Amino acid sequence: MSFYKLGLSWEMVYALECQNILEPTIIQKLAIPPILNKKDVMAEAQTGTGKTLAFLLPLMDQIDLEMGLQAIVLAPTRELAIQITAEAKKLTEMKPVSILPVYGGQDFHAQLHKMNHQIHLIIATPGRLLDHLKRSSFSVDEMKILVVDEADQLFHIGFKDELKAIMKFFKKDYQIICVSATLSHRVNSFKDHYLKSPVHVVAPKEKMILDEITQEVIQTSNRKKYDDFKALLVNENIDKSIIFCRSRKGSEALGEAMKADQYSVEVLHGGLTQSKREALMEGFKNNEFKYLVATDVAARGLDIKGVDSVINYNLPDDPENYVHRIGRTGRAGQTGKSYILLTQKDYNRLHAVEAFMDHKLI
């Protein structure tokens, strides 16, 4: 099936062809037609299934360049908002949709002035968007599409109240697209309260990301963990790796220990300013240091070439985040490796990951 058969305009199809994207994924086949038909849509899709384009393509197709702000995409983290913005801008080859990212660390008013207040699409984190809505920084009178991306994650990290407050600013007859990896009770409650007779589409679990990644479990203890970790770096000749910790405090402690041992390493977590986070990511992309110790704030929305492995120093509380983490390697057709340093207290988290993936690791 071609993208034309899904009902997309030639402008969107041309933009895809420029990226050598010729055939839609399953979630794109399922979600694009009802979104184009202005239906409320509840889409379940995991990372790596093409879900971002599944809502961006029909959303941008419906934008009228002669009108003002017509669509808002909400994302739970700044990193994901940045990624969605980058994907959206790739679709403006023939249709110059004006896109404004709104998240912490942005000089919003300078951007707004530069665009002469002509905005068609805003991609935002909830807190920062709510701030600007309260200040009437822009008009939402012509707003007709709201996308809530990674709804499960958004509700998990506590944006429920902000989302309810945001929606009070919009007129009632607008389309809502809710994208979630899983339908938790929080997402179901949002769907039941706000969506009108939604079309529910589900992409089957795809193992294409996992097939390109070798996963290995290293059983250790709290006492031996750091030594076993250092041995892993040497024995596997790991050259460029993202090392995930569960907490900000844990990531800082590991980073300090590695720096004391003369490793080329930096630490990324949500406590850093946006400019610092962006500078770190740019430095990692440019190979200014070899190892990036990070919390799950870095698990979504990163596309860095040459990451040969991901190390789970701690397993995440949310098993889906494990899939997001290891998806940072083995990208663009390359192979990658993932390691888990497993202590006794992490067995329940490991079992949750195995159940989520339907795949045994030990």
Q: Would the pTM of this model clear 0.85, i.e. be above it?
A: no
Q: Are residues 341 and 216 in the same domain?
A: yes
pLDDT value, residue 208 = 43
pLDDT tens sequence across 52-108: 999 999 999 999 999 999 999 999 888 889 889 999 999 998 999 999 998 877 676
Q: Give the distance, in angstroms, between the CA of residue 239 and the centroid of all CA atoms in the same chain.
A: 25
pLDDT bin (cut points 50, 70, 90) of residue 328 is: confident
End-to-end CA distance of the chain: 39
pLDDT bin (cut points 50, 70, 90) of residue 205 is: low
Q: Are residues 155 and 222 in the same domain?
A: no
Pick from 62, 59, 83, 57: which is nearest to 72 by CA? 59
Q: Are residues 129 and 16 in the same domain?
A: yes
The DSSP call for residue 3 is: T
Q: Can you tell me the mean pLDDT for 130-140?
A: 89
In a domain, 242, yes or no: yes
Q: Are residues 198 and 226 in the same domain?
A: no
Burial class (CB in 10 A: 0-12, 13-18, 19+), 28: buried
pLDDT tens sequence across 177-201: 999 877 778 888 888 989 999 999 9
Contact 149, 55 (CB under 8 A): yes
Percentage, residues of the chain above pLDDT 70:
91
Q: Domain range for residue 147?
A: 4-202
Domain termination site, one of 147, 182, 202: 202
- The CATH code of the domain that includes 258 is 3.40.50.300
pLDDT tens sequence across 27-49: 999 999 999 999 999 999 876 68
In a domain, 54, yes or no: yes
Length of the chain: 362
Q: How many domains does the chain have?
A: 2
Domain termination site, one of 151, 172, 202: 202
Q: Can you tell me the mean pLDDT for 334-343?
A: 88
